[in-house]
Structure 1
Amino acid sequence: MRIFTIAGEPSGDNLGAAVMAGLKELTGGDVSFEGVGGPAMQAEGLSSRFPMSELSVMGLAEILPKYFHLKRRIRECAEAVLADPPDVLLTIDSPDFCLRVARLVKAANPSIRTVHYVAPTVWAWRPKRATKMAEVIDHVLALFPFEPPLMQAAGMECDFVGHPVTTQPQASLDEILAFRQESGIGDAPIALILPGSRAGEVTRLAPIFGPVIEKLRARHPELVFVLPAAAGVADLVEEKVRDWPANIVVLDPRDSTPENFAVTKRAAFAAADVALAASGTVSLELAAANTPMVIAYDMAWLTRVIMQRMLLTDTVTLVNLVSETRVVPEFIGADCDPDKIAPALASVYEAPEAQYEAMELSMQRLGREGEPPGLRAARAILARL
């Protein structure tokens, strides 16, 4: 069996590695891989045609200078698939690149089976994306249990295979105690501050999160504030927290190896009593660590206006969506205001019980007690061949 697979960013590389391992297990090793991927997929046996980092660009300003190069890479991948058709073309997330490859492939050879891992968020906005995707994709592997009916309605086969957050390791008691001791926190309660992993997010949210911390500290002076910085924005985070009114324990990934920082970060998540976080999959990471949260996010004015008109759901917080509750307070766009966020964060800290059941339910529905997502994804691919 031959699989041509493409991943364009680290999260996709991890998904790809897991499904490759699952396919090797289920086929007894009778499977080969080619395509594009990162270090995790290469460790599973992929020889990447070119560095995956060439595809890891985001935003109009970043893409424009590389537009013609990316177009060449799209055609290169499509031509490689068509020259020696595989049993499956497996594309992983990165739809701007991957679906363009699939479109070229399908136009030239409709019989090549196409599978895309990670469904588009049509439940949140731009539902017509699914219909357009169905023109070039046969089978979707979905991360969320409510996605298969949406993909099937658009004309694609779809299987829910579980979310990778359910397989992420959680901190042990020893790791939590070591983190508290090494950070000088002791037994103090912790408020986790998570302003995002991109420069634009940190720049927009830092002036909002700072006053929230001031208000929460006035109400609960016993709290210690901990901020695990993302590697790409550590300098920016250090700059922004200087203006904040409280001392912040910044966890800097540059101070340790990636492996050791991962241990420190998950210990901080598990040790925290409450978290203020930017919107995104971090809400699921917090739920996996059983940490109550408030979600806050703002964006550029034009983006805010467009999103308000196009948004199809009354919540963007994944814990709320998966658990079918609205127990996690969220403050998005114009509501991302310190005077609104601070009382909600204090309330969650003082009475977190309402969130525990929703977080546990979310993890169950995302597959915590089932097969690992990579194995489920591999099984779904083989079952529908």
Structure 2
Amino acid sequence: MRVFLIAGEPSGDKLGAALMAGFRSLMPDTEVEFIGVGGPRMEEAGLSSLFPMDDISIMGLTEILSQYPALKRRVNEAAEAAIAAQPDVLITIDLPEFCLRVAKIVKARSTIRTVHYVAPTVWAWRPGRAAKMAKHIDQVLALLPFEPPYMEAAGMRCDFVGHPVVTDPLASATEAEAFRDRHGLGAAPLLLVLPGSRRSEVTRMGPVFGAVLAEVCARRPEMRIVVPAAGPVVDMVQAAVAGWPGAPLVLDGKAPDAQAEKRAAFRAGDLALAASGTVSLELAAAGTPMVIAYDMNWLSRQIIGRMLRIDTVTLVNLVSETRAVPEFVGAACVPSDIAAAVLALAEAPQSQQEAMALTMARLGQGQEPPGIRAARAVLDGLGRL
């Protein structure tokens, strides 16, 4: 069996590697060949990448436009390689700006079955994307339980396969206590601050979070601040927190023990202030209550604000069908309001526990791992189970 895979960013590389392991687990007596584009995890699992994954790992409209000629060449290169390989299935993983263009070319010139892993957020904005996808995607693998009806309505098969956050390792209470001891935090209340993993996010949210902490620390001077910084933005985060109150402890995301330190911090934290994103699910998995905030440039705020079809962008709220997590997005991203929410949460951190537990259960916690579920869904679509 031959599988052509394309992943263009670290989260997709993680999904792809788990999917590859899932295929091998379900087909122990069948030789499965993996070709395509991926990162270090997929290469470690046996993929020989056509070109570096970083070549297509580009986010943001401005960045995409500035590098459009190079991206277009990579789209054509990947599509031609897939057509020449004649795989049993082409699986594109997230990064729709790149992956769906490849699938469109492949579908126009072959009968190769196409699967897209990670449903686009048509439930949040631009619902017309589903109908456009359906012209060249046969099957979608969804991370969120409420997504299949949107894809199926457009004419695609869609399988909910679970979210990878449910298989991520969690720190123990002992590890959390050791983290506090290691950094001299004692039993003080601990606030995690997560300003984002992209440079643009840190630039925009750093000053906002600093203003929030000025109010929080004035009211709660005993509060200790820990900032888990993603590897690519450690230097930016360290510069941003230099003017923050509370003597923040920055965890270096490039350190050898970075992931273990982050897990321990999440377990040790009493509450968190975080930029919007999948970090809300990581915090929920660790049982750490949160306040979410996010802002963007004026133009993006105007455009996206008019296109949004939901009243919350926080995944814990969406999956649990509650509004338990306070959220301050766009024009509502006001430091004084955010600080009030953080202080209120510090007084009643148990208010989110039920919503976080429900979110994890609905995402597949305690069930078959998502990588195996995804592989099973693909094989079923191929009639190969």
TM-score (structure 1 length as normaliser) = 0.97
Q: Give 2:26's aligned residue.
A: 26
- Where in structure 2 are the equivalents of 1:1-385 lying within 5 Å? 1-28=1-28, 29-109=30-110, 111-254=111-254, 256-257=255-256, 260-385=257-382
In structure 2, give the amino acid aligned to 1:15.
L
Counterpart CA distance in 2 for 1:355 and 1:164 is 21
Counterpart CA distance in 1 for 2:310 and 2:68 is 33
Counterpart CA distance in 2 for 1:285 and 1:90 is 26
Cα deviation 1:298-327 (Å, max 9, x = unaligned): 110011111111100000000000000001
**Greater mean alpha carbon deviation, residues 59-68 or residues 289-298:** 59-68
Counterpart CA distance in 1 for 2:14 and 2:301 is 31
Counterpart CA distance in 2 for 1:68 and 1:240 is 34
In structure 1, give the amino acid aligned to 2:199.
A
Q: CA deviation at 1:58?
A: 1.7
Cα deviation 1:4-43 (Å, max 9, x = unaligned): 1111111101100001100011111431111111111111
User: Which secondary structure state, in structure 1, belongs to the residue aligned with residue 310 of structure 2?
Assistant: coil
Residues 292 and 349 in structure 1, CA contact (< 8 A), matched pair in contact too: no
Counterpart CA distance in 1 for 2:55 and 2:81 is 18
Counterpart CA distance in 2 for 1:198 and 1:331 is 19
Residues 175 and 263 in structure 1, CA contact (< 8 A), matched pair in contact too: no
Runs of 4+ in 1 over 6 A off after TM superposition: none
Q: CA deviation at 1:65?
A: 4.3
Cα deviation 1:171-207 (Å, max 9, x = unaligned): 0223212211121111211001011111111111121
**Greater mean alpha carbon deviation, residues 34-43 or residues 320-329:** 34-43
In structure 2, give the amino acid aligned to 1:228.
P
Residues 205 and 295 in structure 2, CA contact (< 8 A), matched pair in contact too: yes
**Please, what is the CA RMSD of the aligned residues?**
1.1
Structure 2, unmatched stretches of 5+, are none
User: Which secondary structure state, in structure 2, belongs to the residue aligned with residue 242 of structure 1?
Assistant: helix
Cα deviation 1:256-294 (Å, max 9, x = unaligned): 21xx11000110011101100000000000000000000
Counterpart CA distance in 2 for 1:212 and 1:81 is 50
Count of aligned pairs between the two proteins: 381
Residues 221 and 246 in structure 2, CA contact (< 8 A), matched pair in contact too: no
Counterpart CA distance in 1 for 2:308 and 2:178 is 43
Counterpart CA distance in 1 for 2:253 and 2:202 is 16
- What fraction of aligned residue pairs are identical, expressed as a percent? 63
Residues 99 and 133 in structure 1, CA contact (< 8 A), matched pair in contact too: yes
